[in-house]
Amino acid sequence: MKTTIVVRYFAGIAEAAGVAEDRLDAESTMTLGDVVRELTDRHGQEFGQHLRMCAMLVDGRRFADDDVVSHRENVEIDILPPFAGG
């Protein structure tokens, strides 16, 4: 099964990526860690360092790096930078 993964960036991480979203096509099993590596390859090591500090929601739920994200045909990953607030 081919999986289309839409990665949506918000706030500062969108600025760092230079785009509001990316699309990845997974032909085989892909974990969240695999997605992070692919995005780092695409946007550079500095972006990858920022990415590691962000919250990542896969279809609205938190996932760990080793969790499989290519579990259905269409998957959305939202990447949110840390927010300060009071």
pLDDT tens digits for 5-33? 999 999 999 999 999 999 999 988 999 99
Question: Rg for the chain (alpha carbons), in Å?
Answer: 12
Say how far apart CA 48 and CA 27 lie, in whole Å.
Answer: 23
**Hey, which residues does 56 pair with through a beta bridge?**
79
In a domain, 68, yes or no: yes
On whether the CB atoms of residues 40 and 33 are closer than 8 A, the answer is no
Which CATH number covers residue 30?
3.10.20.30
**Residue range(s) defining the domain that contains residue 47:** 3-80
Residue pLDDT, tens place only, 29-79: 999 999 999 999 999 999 999 999 999 999 999 999 999 998 889 999 999
Number of domains in the chain: 1
Residue 82 has what pLDDT?
A: 87
Residue 24 has what pLDDT?
A: 96
Residue with the larger pLDDT of the pair 2 and 75: 75
